[in-house]
Amino acid sequence: MISFNKALKIIKNFVNINKKTEYLSIENSFSRILARDYKAKFDSPRTDKSAMDGIVILEKDFNKKKKFKIIGESKAGQNKSGEIKSGETKLIYTGAPIPGKNKKKIIIKEKCKFLNNTLVQISEKIEKQNFIRKKGFNFKRNDLCLIKNSYLNIRNISLASSLNLKKIKVFTKPRFAIFITGDEIKNIQNPKGTINSSNTHTLKNFINIFGGLVTEIKYVKDNEIDILKKYDALKDFDCLISSGGISVGKYDLIKMALKKRNLKIKINKISMKPGKPTTFGIFKKNKYFLGLPGNPVSCYVGSFFFIRMLISKFNNKNYNNIKFDHAINKEEIAENNHLTSIMRINIFEKNKQSYFTIYKNQDSSLETTLAKSNGLIIREPFSPKVSIGNKNQIIKLNDFQSNYF
C-alpha cells in the first residue's frame, strides 16, 4: 500500500503527454487545448476608428473654433469616410471610420450643442483625451495572438473569432471507457438490479469537466467471463475506468480478469480514506486503467484527485491543479490515524472570514453528506489534534473549475 501523494506522482510519471491533434470549428472548440500558435493576418481595427459617439473635427481646429458645419456622418460598418475641411464636422458613432487622412479630434456627444441640423457648437471645456482607436490598436498583422497549449476559454474563443479563424488546430481529448460493475446495479441489461448507479454520472461529469471524452459506458456483471467479453468489445480508448470490483471480496474480479489482457498493476492500494482500494495500471503504451471503489463518496474523491491528475498529464496542462484556500475550524479536529483522510466539510463565511465544520459521519456510502458539503480537508497520516480557532488548508468545491472564463 502506497501513500496518497506517491500515488499521484506515479500516475503523473506513467501517463504520457498526448501529441495527437485534430481541426475543429470555432463553435466546437470550447474548452479544448491549442495545438499550434496563431498570428494575426491583418490589423484590427483595419483603420482608425471612433471610440465614442459625437462629432469629428480637424485636430488643428481644436481650441480655435467652437462652431462647426455638419456635412455628413460616419457610422460603423463603413469601410471609409471622406475628408473634412477646416470648420466642418461629421457626426460620428462608436466603431465608425475616422474621415480622411488628416489628424482628427473626436468631441464626445455630451460636449456638443446642436444649434440646428447643420450647425453644432462645442463646449468651452474639452478634455485633452482623443477618443480614436488607432489602426492595429487591438492587434497588428503578425502579432502572436493565440499560443500553443493555451486553454480555449471564452476569452480565447472570442479572440479566435476576431482573427477570422474558421477552424482551429487542437489536441485530441483523452478517450475514456467506463465499466460500472456489480450484479446489483440496475440498467437496461439488468432491470432487476436493486441499485441505481450514481457513479455513472459522477465519472462522466468529472471526465467532461477535466477535459476528457467518454466514449463508452458498459455495465459489467460480477464474473470474469462477462468482464473479459465487455473488455474485448471495447473500441479504442486511452483509459478504462471501473467503478467497483477492485477490492478483496469474492466478487471483486476486475483486476484478476484484466491481468489476462496484459494489465500491469502500478498501484494496488492507496493509504487513504475513502478510496483505499483505488488501482492504477497500464495495458500497453498510452493505454491506462484506473479502478475506483464502488461506494459513491470513494468514487467522487478518487475522481476528484486521480482523474484530474491523469487528464492534466495527458493534456500537458496544470489548469486542473487543485486550488487550496484557508479556513478556521469551529470545532476541535481529532488526531488522525495512519491513513490520509479526505473529509467532507461545511464552509461558511462570517465577517469576511471563512470557517468550517467537519461532518461527524464520514461513511463512504453517504451521498447525502457529500451533496451537503461544499469543501474537503486533507488530513495527513498521524496529523495531530487541532484545537478550535486554527487556520487550516481546505478545498472549496464550488471554486474548483474556473478555466471556462
Q: What is the pLDDT of residues 360-380, one digit of tens each?
A: 999 999 999 999 999 999 999
Domain with residue 155: its CATH number is 3.90.105.10
DSSP string of 354-367, one letter each residue: EEEEE-S---TT-H
Same domain? For 167 and 177 the reply is no
pLDDT in tens, 88-129: 999 999 999 999 999 999 999 999 999 999 999 998 788 788
Same domain? For 227 and 275 the reply is yes
Task: Please check the confidence at residue 319 and state whether its pLDDT lies above 70.
Answer: no
pTM of the model: 0.86
Same domain? For 264 and 181 the reply is yes
Same domain? For 217 and 248 the reply is yes
Same domain? For 84 and 178 the reply is no
Q: What is the pLDDT, as a whole number, of residue 129?
A: 86
Same domain? For 125 and 158 the reply is no
Q: What is the pLDDT, as a whole number, of residue 187?
A: 81
Segment 32-38 shows an average pLDDT of 97
Domain of residue 375: give its range: 324-403
Q: In the numeric block, which cell numbers belong to residue 309?
A: 491528475
Q: 175-181 and 21-25: which strand pairing?
A: unpaired
Same domain? For 309 and 195 the reply is yes
DSSP state of 240: E
The rounded distance, in Å, linking the Cα atoms of 87 and 85 is 6
Name the residue among 218, 224, 242, 326 with its Cα closest to residue 291: 242
Domain with residue 92: its CATH number is 2.170.190.11
Q: What is the pLDDT, as a whole number, of residue 234?
A: 96
pLDDT tier, 231 (very low <50, low <70, confident <90, very high otherwise): very high
**E strand residue ranges, 26-139:** 38-39, 49-50, 54-58, 67-74, 88-92, 104-108, 112-114, 119-122, 132-133
**Which residue, of 315, 339, 370, is where some domain finishes?**
315
Q: What is the pLDDT, as a whole number, of residue 251?
A: 65
Please give the helix or strand (H or E) that residue 257 lies within, else none.
Answer: helix 254-258
Percent of all residues in the chain with a pLDDT value above 90, rounded to a whole number: 87
Segment 27-52 shows an average pLDDT of 97
Task: Please check the confidence at residue 318 and state whether its pLDDT lies above 80.
Answer: no
The rounded distance, in Å, linking the Cα atoms of 335 and 324 is 21
Task: Please check the confidence at residue 403 and state whether its pLDDT lies above 80.
Answer: no
Segment 242-251 shows an average pLDDT of 84
Q: In the numeric block, which cell numbers belong to residue 60?
A: 488643428
Same domain? For 143 and 108 the reply is no
In this structure, are residues 236 and 267 in contact, taking their beta carbons and an 8 Å threshold?
no
pLDDT tier, 292 (very low <50, low <70, confident <90, very high otherwise): very high
**Which residue, of 122, 150, 171, is where some domain finishes?**
171
Segment 172-186 shows an average pLDDT of 93
pLDDT tier, 400 (very low <50, low <70, confident <90, very high otherwise): low
The count of domains in the chain is 4
Same domain? For 197 and 301 the reply is yes
| The dihedral sign for the CA sequence 329, 330, 334, 340 | negative
Q: What is the pLDDT, as a whole number, of residue 310?
A: 97
**Which residue, of 260, 280, 315, is where some domain finishes?**
315
> Which of the two residues, 176 and 285, has the higher pLDDT score?
176
Same domain? For 338 and 213 the reply is no
Exposed e or buried b per residue across 336-367, where buried means at least 16 C-beta atoms within 10 angstroms of its C-beta: beebbbbbbbebeeeeeebbbebbeeeebebe
Fill in the amino acid letter for 136: G
Q: Which residues contact 266 (CB under 8 A, 6 or more apart)?
A: 10, 14, 280, 281, 282
Domain with residue 358: its CATH number is 2.40.340.10
Same domain? For 120 and 164 the reply is no
Strand pairing partners for 399? none
Q: Which residues contact 21 (CB under 8 A, 6 or more apart)?
A: 35, 169, 170, 171, 172
The rounded distance, in Å, linking the Cα atoms of 299 and 292 is 6
Same domain? For 208 and 306 the reply is yes
